[in-house]
Amino acid sequence: MSAPALDCITAARTGRPLGEAAITGLIADYLDGSVPDYQLAAWLMAVACNGLAVEDTVTLTRVLAATGQQLNLRDLAPFVADKHSTGGIGDNTTLVLVPLLAAVGIPVGKLTGRSLGHHGGTVDKLESISGLHLPADAAEFTKSLAATGIGLTGQSDHLAPGDGALYALRDVTGTVDSIPLIASSIMSKKLAAGTSACVLDVKTGPGAVLTDPTATLELARLMVDIGNRAGLPTRAVISDMSQPLGHAIGNTLEVAEAVHALSGRHVPGLTDLTLALAQLIAAQAWPDHTADRIRHRLHTALADGSALAALRRWVEHLGGDVRQIDDPALLPAADVRLAVPAPASGVVHRIDGDELGRIAAELGAGRARADSPIDPAVGIQLHRRVGDPVRADEPVAELHLRTTHDQAALLQRTAAAFTVADGPATAPPLIHHTI
C-alpha cells in the first residue's frame, strides 16, 4: 500500500484538490507498480463519484500525455490541425473534413480508431478501400503528412500509454463514464500529438455515446478548457445524433458517401457538419480571414474538385486503389440488397439511429470485440430522413447484406426503426452549441 496514494484517495473522496505533485506522483507510482490496482481503482471511483477540479484534470491530462512519445507535429508545418469525434451512427465526417482541409492548404494529423460495438471506426472505413494500408509507425505517418497534407493512423501504444493503463482499469471498475476521466483520456492523446489546434465534434442524442445533453455540454466545455490551458487552441461543436448523420451506415457505403460529398454534392448532415468543423479550424489557421472568405475557400474546394483530388492523392500514397475513388461502385459490395418499405404513408417523424447502428453491426459492419472481423460491404443506405414524406410502398432504406442473414427479421427491424405519422416533422438542429 502507498501512503501518498492513500492521501490522493482521501482528497478525491472528500472533494479536495490534489495538486500537481500529488497527481504526477500517483500516476508515476501506478505505472511503475508502486501503487497497486486496488488503490488506483479506489481513486478512480472517488473521482467518478465526486468529480475532479479543473486544474487537477488539466494536470492529469498533461501527465498522461507525457507518459509516452511526443510527436510534435506542429514542427512539420506552420499549422497542423487535429480533429476528434466522440462517435455516432454513420459518422464519416473525417473522410470529408481531412481532404477538404488539405485541399485548402491546412495539413491534418490525427490518430483515429476502429469500430467497437455499433459505432463505426474511421480506420475500418479507410481499410475498406482495396490495398490501402495506414502508416505503421511515426516515420510513415510524418511522411504521409509531408507528402499529402494528411497524416492519419490508428491509435498507437506509444502515445499516452499511461492513459491506456488507466482506461483498462476504468473499464473493469465502472468508471468509464466519468466526465473528467473521459476528458483527460481524449485530450492526453491530443496533447501528445502536438498539433497547432484541435476541433472536437461532441455528439449528443440517442445515436451518440453520450446521450444526455447536459453531460455532453459539460464534457465539451471541459475538453476545450483543458486544451486551451495546456497550450493547444481548441474549439468544439455539439452536434445532433437523433438520426444518422448522412444516408450511409457501413464502411464502403460511408466511403462512397464521402466521395460524393467531396465531389461537391450536398449530403444533408454530412456536408453541413463538415463545413462547420472546417470553418472552426480554418479560422484558427487563417486569423486574418473573414468568415465569408473562409466559407468561400471551403466551398470552392468542394466545387472545383480539389478536395476530391486531395483524397485521391492520399489514397494513392497509402497504396489504395484510386479507381474506387474515381468510381465508388468498384468498392466491395454485398451479395444482397433489400429495399425496406415504409411502415405507413405520411412523414418520417423519427429514425432510431441507435437501432440501425445495432443492425448494421450485426450484419458485420461493426464488431462486438476488438478482435472481431469486419465485413466492409454490408450496411444500411437510408432513403429518407426526418421530415421527409413517404408512401407506404416506397423504400425508407436499403439493406446491404449477405445471403446467410435472416432477411425477414432484418426487414422488420429496420422498418420499425422509422416512425412515420401524419403531419409535419422537423429534425433538431444539427449544431446545438459551438464552444
Instruction: Judge contact between 278 and 100, C-beta under 8 A.
Output: yes
Examine the domain organization and report whether 317 and 342 are in the same domain.
Answer: no
Q: How far apart are CA 81 and CA 176, in angstroms?
A: 27
| Residue 195: C-alpha distances to residues 60, 61, 154, 184 (Å) | 19, 16, 16, 17
Q: How far apart are CA 77 and CA 145, in angstroms?
A: 9
Q: Say which of 83, 119, 189, 413 is annotated catalytic.
A: 189
304 assigned to active site: no
Where would I find the beta strands (DSSP E) of 165-272? Answer: 197-204, 234-240, 248-249
Where would I find the beta strands (DSSP E) of 13-155? Answer: 81-85, 108-112, 150-154
In a domain, 432, yes or no: no
Q: Give 302's contacts (C-beta < 8 A, 6+ positions apart).
A: 100, 261, 262, 263, 264, 271
In a domain, 56, yes or no: no
Domain count, the chain: 3
Instruction: Judge contact between 65 and 263, C-beta under 8 A.
Output: no
Instruction: Judge contact between 34 and 2, C-beta under 8 A.
Output: yes
Residue from 275, 417, 350, 356 nearest 89 by CA: 356
Q: Say which of 170, 203, 313, 432 is annotated catalytic.
A: 170
In a domain, 367, yes or no: yes
Examine the domain organization and report whether 281 and 197 are in the same domain.
Answer: yes
Examine the domain organization and report whether 33 and 171 are in the same domain.
Answer: no
pLDDT for the residue 247: 98
In a domain, 157, yes or no: yes
Q: Say which of 56, 82, 163, 375 is annotated catalytic.
A: 163
Examine the domain organization and report whether 280 and 377 are in the same domain.
Answer: no
Q: Record the pTM.
A: 0.93
Examine the domain organization and report whether 292 and 339 are in the same domain.
Answer: no
**CATH code of the domain covering residue 343:** 3.90.1170.30
Examine the domain organization and report whether 321 and 343 are in the same domain.
Answer: no
190 assigned to active site: no
Examine the domain organization and report whether 133 and 246 are in the same domain.
Answer: yes
Q: How far apart are CA 294 and CA 276, in angstroms?
A: 11
**CATH code of the domain covering residue 132:** 3.40.1030.10
185 assigned to active site: yes
Q: How far apart are CA 419 and CA 265, in angstroms?
A: 27
Which of 325, 351, 370 is the last residue before a domain boundary? 325
Instruction: Judge contact between 97 and 278, C-beta under 8 A.
Output: yes
Query: Which residue range forms the structural domain that includes residue 210?
Result: 73-325
Strand ranges across the sheet with 346-351 = 389-390, 346-351, 418-421
In a domain, 122, yes or no: yes
In a domain, 57, yes or no: no
Instruction: Judge contact between 216 and 208, C-beta under 8 A.
Output: yes
Examine the domain organization and report whether 315 and 339 are in the same domain.
Answer: no
Examine the domain organization and report whether 307 and 236 are in the same domain.
Answer: yes
User: How does pLDDT run along the chain (435 residues), one tens digit per residue?
Assistant: 567 889 999 999 999 999 999 999 999 999 999 999 999 999 999 999 999 999 999 999 999 999 988 888 888 889 999 999 998 899 999 999 999 999 999 999 998 766 555 566 888 999 999 999 999 888 899 899 999 999 998 777 777 889 989 988 998 998 988 999 999 999 999 999 999 999 999 999 887 878 889 999 999 999 999 999 999 999 999 999 999 999 999 999 999 999 999 999 999 999 999 999 999 999 999 999 999 999 999 999 999 999 999 999 999 999 999 999 999 999 999 999 999 999 999 999 999 999 999 999 999 988 766 677 889 999 999 999 999 999 998 999 999 999 888 999 999 999 999 999 999 999 999 999 999
Examine the domain organization and report whether 94 and 217 are in the same domain.
Answer: yes
Which of 266, 292, 325 is the last residue before a domain boundary? 325
Examine the domain organization and report whether 87 and 40 are in the same domain.
Answer: no
Examine the domain organization and report whether 314 and 337 are in the same domain.
Answer: no
296 assigned to active site: no
Give the dihedral sign, CA 360/400/122/282.
negative
In a domain, 68, yes or no: no
Angle between helices 20-31 and 161-171 (to 10 degrees): 80
Q: Say which of 62, 74, 84, 367 is annotated catalytic.
A: 84
In a domain, 59, yes or no: no
- What cell was used for 333? 459490395
pLDDT for the residue 405: 86
Q: How far apart are CA 83 and CA 152, in angstroms?
A: 11
pLDDT for the residue 177: 86
Q: Alpha helix locations (H) across 334-406?
A: 353-360
170 assigned to active site: yes
